[in-house]
Chain A
């Protein structure tokens, strides 16, 4: 069934088709329409789920933790400040190895108040132990939401689907909505081997002395590493069943490229157009979209960028006192490569400022006219 839906509704449809059983959520712009749609699915009986209308995002995640610990498929969605309020229990969900899935609409952090897109909210959850996907289109959002449940439940780590505020969350696109039976065949019911069960009483999350704690973290890291191949397999299976797959990263006209743009989220779509236009003008440019950010696909990125002469990373975020976060990761991935291309970093579009084709051309021009970066990163379009 093809429907014209917003990015937010694509998340809702994904959670519905995945048969989420417990949803706990709190409203925050620009995420709210995700949970409104889910509330309506629950109210009209289209979903057999309990919707807990909690009193905060912190409690939304805590309730998902409780539900998942009993063995139910749990889902929530949030954005910006809400995600930051959640932070403590975002860690808890991963540490408890609960495969909760969360839709996050990227929103800039206050003060000053902003409801517009920027990645600092989700990137500040980088080290929590959550799988993170950054999406470009509404179809990708829907497909990734369903895939996320399968990946999370195979490796027992929670997963985040990230989409840009408004540019995706409130923009409508034609989306293929799969049949429930086909999704059921792809995603079996969640049956964890260990759960809160009086028939098999166990204590979860107890005090761990230094003699054991490190081993728990070792296992989390192993699960994250496993998530790389699992995400690849799950995406391949999705492709076989539904005729489209997304890759952990996606190269675009990269084969003979001398200059590679590295993008995430909706900036990718704009960048594709600029790449096409510049190719017409004879510039050997390509693009690498990073879809999976955690676990970070170092090896694939290293291989894909090995042949290019220059890399330009577009970061819609900033790690104060350092640079953009994607650039840090890309540089780290390339450090062990035999040939290391210079990595230019461009911080652009903070607080929802538009990144338009001209912005990307400016980034390309700078990269073309400089042999190597002269600073850790370059501000794009800042008015000073």
Chain B
């Protein structure tokens, strides 16, 4: 096996804050920190589109805003289409230097907004679509979405009958549209995240960034564990950090240290997995290992060709 490339830590996090302090998010909210990093990377010449999701609340009620950039709040399933309209209008009006960022939760992306998102990226509209994924309908009180992991507890998948279906592979779906850029990111790796948002900003066409965002009330985890949890998600390979260019070129950006950690370490910090049997945990481990191997094979094929 070829030695994987080491990840170059030569990125700086900009000091400029484009989010205000004191939003109404829950303690330990991963999505709030994710927005902070995303805007640091994109800068102030950005228009955000926020469909129904936790961020509809976090952004603040009328007449307040927790962002220093414009926000267009919109209907649940419309982020892809509204962003298409904004991007087209900016193009016609000659304002081509403005970045359009759709910012949607997993429900608005994996489920109700998938059609509009697919339409927008199939047309290769010039915008960045970010899915901050907290793995359930958290804003309505923790109901399962198609982003909810296998066997997780939610209010609609109680422990007597937990979710029987695996999490939908949204990045694969986006990559299948052959868009210029699709990537994963998370808050324990801000330099990687900022590098990805900057890269996305520099590409014309559709960009998709999938951000794992812990939700302490929904995951039944400690607010102080949110960063730790996403680090464990990456190190256990539950949520690998990688990017896919033009639907084909796969690059793994963060390789787990010393072969990674068992998924159990990630799962045990979350009450939503407390009911799992040893067999279920072993099944999750096996699935994670299989997915990781597939990803490594795809990444190595690229490395081999270089």
Seen from chain A, the residues whose Cβ lies within 8 Å of a Cβ on chain B are: 21-22, 24, 48-50, 52-56, 58-60, 62-72, 74, 88-89, 92, 196-198, 200-209, 212
Which single member of A88, A196, A198 contacts B75 (CB below 8 Å)? A88
CB distance from B64 to the nearest CB of A (A): 8
Number of A-B contacts (CB under 8 A): 167
CB distance from A52 to the nearest CB of B (A): 5
With A48-B92, A201-B69, A202-B70 as given contacts, are A207 and B62 in contact (CB-CB < 8 Å)?
Answer: yes
Which single member of A50, A92, A198, A208 contacts B70 (CB below 8 Å)? A198
Given the complex, which residues of B lie within 8 Å of A203, measured CB to CB?
59-60, 62, 64-65, 67, 70-71, 73
Summarize B's interface: helix, strand, loop or mixed. Answer: mixed
Query: By the criterion CB–CB under 8 Å, are A53 and B81 in contact?
Result: no
Query: By the criterion CB–CB under 8 Å, are A196 and B78 in contact?
Result: no
Q: Which of B112-133 contact A (CB under 8 A)?
A: 115-116, 118-120, 122-123, 125
In the bound assembly, the distance between CA atoms of A370 and B44 in angstroms comes to 71
Which single member of B82, B88, B93, B125 contacts A62 (CB below 8 Å)? B82
* In the complex, the 9 A-B pairs of residues with the closest C-beta atoms, listed nearest first: A66-B85, A55-B119, A63-B85, A59-B81, A62-B81, A205-B73, A72-B89, A67-B85, A66-B82
Pairs across A and B, CB under 8 Å, 9 listed: A22-B92, A55-B118, A60-B81, A63-B88, A66-B85, A74-B85, A198-B47, A204-B71, A208-B62
Q: Which of A21, A24, A198, A212 has the most CB of B within 10 A?
A: A198
Query: By the criterion CB–CB under 8 Å, are B75 and A66 in contact?
Result: no
In the bound assembly, the distance between CA atoms of A197 and B40 in angstroms comes to 18
CB distance from A27 to the nearest CB of B (A): 14
Q: Which of B60, B77, B81, B84 has the most CB of A within 10 A?
A: B81
With A66-B72, A203-B73 as given contacts, are A71 and B61 in contact (CB-CB < 8 Å)?
Answer: no
Which single member of B46, B47, B86, B89 contacts A21 (CB below 8 Å)? B89
Asked if B157 is at the interface of the complex by the 8 Å CB criterion, the answer is no
Query: By the criterion CB–CB under 8 Å, are B68 and A201 in contact?
Result: yes
Query: By the criterion CB–CB under 8 Å, are A55 and B116 in contact?
Result: yes
Query: By the criterion CB–CB under 8 Å, are A59 and B84 in contact?
Result: yes
In the bound assembly, the distance between CA atoms of A89 and B73 in angstroms comes to 12
With A54-B81, A59-B78, A209-B61 as given contacts, are A70 and B71 in contact (CB-CB < 8 Å)?
Answer: no
Given the complex, which residues of A lie within 8 Å of B71, measured CB to CB?
202-204, 206
Per-position 1/0 for B48-59, Cβ under 8 A of A = 010000001101
A sample of 5 more A-B contacts (CB under 8 A), given A56-B115, A207-B73, is A59-B78, A69-B86, A70-B86, A74-B85, A202-B71
Query: By the criterion CB–CB under 8 Å, are B85 and A22 in contact?
Result: yes
Query: By the criterion CB–CB under 8 Å, are A52 and B61 in contact?
Result: no
Which single member of B47, B56, B78, B92 contacts A58 (CB below 8 Å)? B78
Given the complex, which residues of A lie within 8 Å of B46, measured CB to CB?
198
In the bound assembly, the distance between CA atoms of A203 and B88 in angstroms comes to 20
With A24-B84, A204-B71, A209-B61 as given contacts, are A198 and B89 in contact (CB-CB < 8 Å)?
Answer: no
Given the complex, which residues of A lie within 8 Å of B156, measured CB to CB?
none
Summarize A's interface: helix, strand, loop or mixed. Answer: mixed
Given the complex, which residues of B lie within 8 Å of A55, measured CB to CB?
115-116, 118-119, 122
Query: By the criterion CB–CB under 8 Å, are B78 and A70 in contact?
Result: no
Given the complex, which residues of B lie within 8 Å of A200, measured CB to CB?
70
Q: Which of B93-143 contact A (CB under 8 A)?
A: 93, 95, 98, 115-116, 118-120, 122-123, 125
Query: By the criterion CB–CB under 8 Å, are A65 and B85 in contact?
Result: yes
Given the complex, which residues of B lie within 8 Å of A66, measured CB to CB?
49, 72, 74, 81-89
CB distance from A352 to the nearest CB of B (A): 30
Query: By the criterion CB–CB under 8 Å, are B84 and A63 in contact?
Result: yes
Which single member of A50, A56, A212 contacts B62 (CB below 8 Å)? A212
In the bound assembly, the distance between CA atoms of A58 and B113 in angstroms comes to 11
Query: By the criterion CB–CB under 8 Å, are B47 and A206 in contact?
Result: no
In the bound assembly, the distance between CA atoms of A109 and B294 in angstroms comes to 49
CB distance from A204 to the nearest CB of B (A): 5
In the bound assembly, the distance between CA atoms of A56 and B60 in angstroms comes to 31
Asked if B224 is at the interface of the complex by the 8 Å CB criterion, the answer is no
In the bound assembly, the distance between CA atoms of A202 and B218 in angstroms comes to 31
Which single member of A56, A65, A206 contacts B119 (CB below 8 Å)? A56
Given the complex, which residues of A lie within 8 Å of B82, measured CB to CB?
62-63, 65-66, 69
CB distance from A106 to the nearest CB of B (A): 25
Given the complex, which residues of A lie within 8 Å of B86, measured CB to CB?
66-67, 69-70, 196
Which single member of B78, B88, B120 contacts A50 (CB below 8 Å)? B88
CB distance from B116 to the nearest CB of A (A): 5
Asked if B45 is at the interface of the complex by the 8 Å CB criterion, the answer is yes
Asked if B91 is at the interface of the complex by the 8 Å CB criterion, the answer is yes
* A89 nearest in chain B by CB position: B75
Asked if B80 is at the interface of the complex by the 8 Å CB criterion, the answer is yes
In the bound assembly, the distance between CA atoms of A209 and B88 in angstroms comes to 32
* A100 nearest in chain B by CB position: B85
In the bound assembly, the distance between CA atoms of A203 and B64 in angstroms comes to 8
* A201 nearest in chain B by CB position: B70
Asked if B170 is at the interface of the complex by the 8 Å CB criterion, the answer is no
Query: By the criterion CB–CB under 8 Å, are A208 and B61 in contact?
Result: yes
CB distance from B123 to the nearest CB of A (A): 7
Query: By the criterion CB–CB under 8 Å, are A50 and B89 in contact?
Result: yes
